[in-house]
Amino acid sequence: MELVSVASATPTSTEVTAAASGRTRAVGAIMIAIGLFTGLVFAMGASSAAHSGLTFNPVNLSNAPWHVGDLTVVTRWVNAVIALLMVVLGLEVIIRSPRRAVMVRFGVVAVLFLFALLFWVVRTPGPSPVPVINFTAVLIGSSEVAMVLIFGALSGVMCERSGVVNIAIEGQFIGGAFIGTMLASTTHSFIFAAVGGAAIGGLLGLLLAFLSLRYLSDQIIVGVVLVTMIGSFSSYLNLQVFTPFPQFNTGTLAPNLAIPLISKIPIIGPVFFDQSGFFYFMLILVGVVSFALFKTRYGLHVRAVGEHPRAAATVGINVVRVRYINVVLGGAIAGVGGVAFMASQGQFQPGYTSGLGYIALAAMIFGRWRPSGAVVASVLFGLSVYLSQNLQTYNVPVSTYILNMFPYIITIAVVSGLIGRVRAPAADGIPYHRE
């Protein structure tokens, strides 16, 4: 049987490609602009005599038989090289219009920008400066923040891939941290603490799911209400429980589990292989979530529910059940993230997550609702959060509040389509009505 060819009402692929490459070129132009800014301010803005010093000592000397010498560099030239690298990357994006990994290149430029800022900040006018930045410490410090962000971003991925916006990650962090410190203080086991954190996070997820799936409430409003409520409630309990009974909030830091041999590799070793159990658990979780979402039957169902719930329902998938499961699991992941945060700080303090849950959400968006993307974004945002918290010690002329804006500026650029196009799951945040 001869079938007549079908009229195409969709745009031709060349048109789509043209529009996409237009956006790609815009990203390249932004990268070049950042490069020029770096060159003008951080390179030319430093006097030719200024130097920046770096050390590479691990924080925990007992675990490091190695010693990498200090490095003193001319601030202007190092930053000029960084600026040049940014411009080259930008040009490459414009000229070659790569189909993939444009955002990764942009992330590299953003990280380079933060390093250039760092070099510029610690410069000293003389030719022989006191080494001031411990490079290894910067990496370890930001890896701890990144770990918490990854837990949060994975939670967001789990929920939003199924079509429920979980803006309550911040609240689940706080809840997890609170329960975590109680359990860690009383049982001295971070495993119990993690299980407790997962339970409280899951419970908050269940509440979010119940209100948004049973009563079809606006998920953003429910999320904000949950965060505000948990914030106040934890402050209240802090006053009523932890102040009179400080023994419930001794917390302590989670011990590092050094992996034999590879933890001894200079620089990389302490950053990747001498971390707490939470860090390794996070790495495993990234792989598990990624595999589950994109390789398994369960993941196909989740993504279908997040994109087109009615289509999923017509083939017998229980939309509401899938959403319940994912929101509870996502909440549990964020809860563990809260415990991990507590375990890197040593104690619970009211309000000390200071918006990390929202930055995690931003990382999820910048990472395009993918676990792998969320990791890249979290590394970038983790570095910027770490720097904003620690730059004071270097007598910075830039306000840390400006640096605090960094993740959000990137997010605005991403969601406004300025850098590449991101597409949320089509049914994200839309209540599902059964007929």
Partner 1 sequence: MRLELRGITKRFGSFTANDQISITVEPGQIHCLLGENGAGKSTLMNVLFGLLHPDEGEILINGDAVKFENSGEAVRRGIGMVHQHFMLVPVFTVTENVVLGFEPTKSINRVDYKKATDDIRRVSKEFNLDVDPDAVVENLPVGLQQRVEILKSLSHDAELLILDEPTAVLTPQEIDALMNIMRSLAEAGKSILFITHKLKEVKAVADVITIIRQGRVVGTAQPTDTEGELASLMVGRDVNLTVEKSTFTPGEEVFEIRDLVVRDDRGLIAVNGVSLDVRAGEILALAGVQGNGQTELVEAIAGMRHVESGTITLRGRDITNESPRQVLDAGLGHIPEDRHRDGLVLSMSVADNLVLNTPRRTPFARHGSRNLTAVRQNAEQLVKEFDIRTTSIFEDASSLSGGNQQKVIVARELSRPLEFLMASQPTRGLDVGSIEYVHKQIVDHRNKGNAALIVSSELDEVLALGDRIAVMYAGKISGIVDPSTSREAIGLLMTGTTSEVARA
Which region, judged by CB under 8 A, interacts with partner 1, from 60-68, 197-205, 272-280, 316-324? 316-324
CB of 34 to partner 1, least distance (A): 24
Which tokens belong to 200? 């409280």
Which residue of 91, 203, 265, 313 would you call a contact of partner 1, by CB under 8 A?
A: 313
Q: Which is nearer to partner 1, 9 or 61 (CB)?
A: 9
Q: Does 423 bind partner 1 (CB under 8 A)?
A: yes
CB of 317 to partner 1, least distance (A): 6
Which residue of 243, 296, 354, 399 would you call a contact of partner 1, by CB under 8 A?
A: 296
Q: Does 301 bind partner 1 (CB under 8 A)?
A: yes
Per DSSP, the residues of 84-106 read HHHHHHHHHHHHH--SS-HHHHH
Which residue of 65, 126, 244, 316 would you call a contact of partner 1, by CB under 8 A?
A: 316
Cα angle 114, 120, 124; round to 5: 150
Per DSSP, the residues of 116-149 read HHHHHHT-BSSSSPPP-EEHHHHHHHHHHHHHHH
Q: Does 433 bind partner 1 (CB under 8 A)?
A: no
Residues paired with residue 55 on neighbouring β-strands, in sequence order: 134
Residues 6+ apart with CB under 8 A from 265: 273
Q: Does 9 bind partner 1 (CB under 8 A)?
A: yes
DSSP 421: -
Residues 6+ apart with CB under 8 A from 313: 319, 434
x-marked contacts with partner 1 along 242-281 as a string, rule CB under 8 A: ----------------------------------------
Residues 6+ apart with CB under 8 A from 329: 158, 202, 205
Q: Does 304 bind partner 1 (CB under 8 A)?
A: yes
Could you tell me if 391 and 121 are in contact, meaning their C-beta atoms sit under 8 angstroms apart? yes
Report d(CA 90, CA 30) in Å as an integer.
8
Could you tell me if 326 and 118 are in contact, meaning their C-beta atoms sit under 8 angstroms apart? no
Could you tell me if 34 and 113 are in contact, meaning their C-beta atoms sit under 8 angstroms apart? yes
Q: Which is nearer to partner 1, 20 or 108 (CB)?
A: 20
CA distances from 122 to 151, 292, 332, 406 (A): 32, 44, 40, 20
x-marked contacts with partner 1 along 387-416 as a string, rule CB under 8 A: ------------------------------
Q: In which residue are the tokens 């802090």 written?
A: 238
Report d(CA 111, CA 96) in Å as an integer.
22
Q: Regarding beta strands 133-134 and 51-55, do their DSSP bridges make them parallel or antiparallel, or are they unpaired?
A: parallel
Q: Which is nearer to partner 1, 261 or 315 (CB)?
A: 315
CB of 418 to partner 1, least distance (A): 13
CB of 160 to partner 1, least distance (A): 14
Q: How many residues bind partner 1 (CB under 8 A)?
A: 37
Q: Which is nearer to partner 1, 260 or 316 (CB)?
A: 316
Which region, judged by CB under 8 A, interacts with partner 1, from 26-34, 66-74, 98-106, 302-310? 302-310
CB of 25 to partner 1, least distance (A): 14
Q: Does 8 bind partner 1 (CB under 8 A)?
A: yes
Q: Does 320 bind partner 1 (CB under 8 A)?
A: no
CB of 10 to partner 1, least distance (A): 6
Cα first-last separation, the chain: 39
Which tokens belong to 308? 């087109």
Q: Does 303 bind partner 1 (CB under 8 A)?
A: yes
Which residue of 253, 267, 317, 415 would you call a contact of partner 1, by CB under 8 A?
A: 317
Q: Does 16 bind partner 1 (CB under 8 A)?
A: yes
Which tokens belong to 48? 């030719």
Site for partner 1 in 20-49 (CB under 8 A): none
The packing angle between helices 169-187 and 356-366, to 10°, is 120
Q: Does 370 bind partner 1 (CB under 8 A)?
A: no
CB of 209 to partner 1, least distance (A): 20
Q: Which chain residues interact with partner 1 by CB under 8 A?
A: 1, 3-13, 15-16, 19, 295-298, 300-301, 303-304, 307-308, 310-318, 423, 426, 435
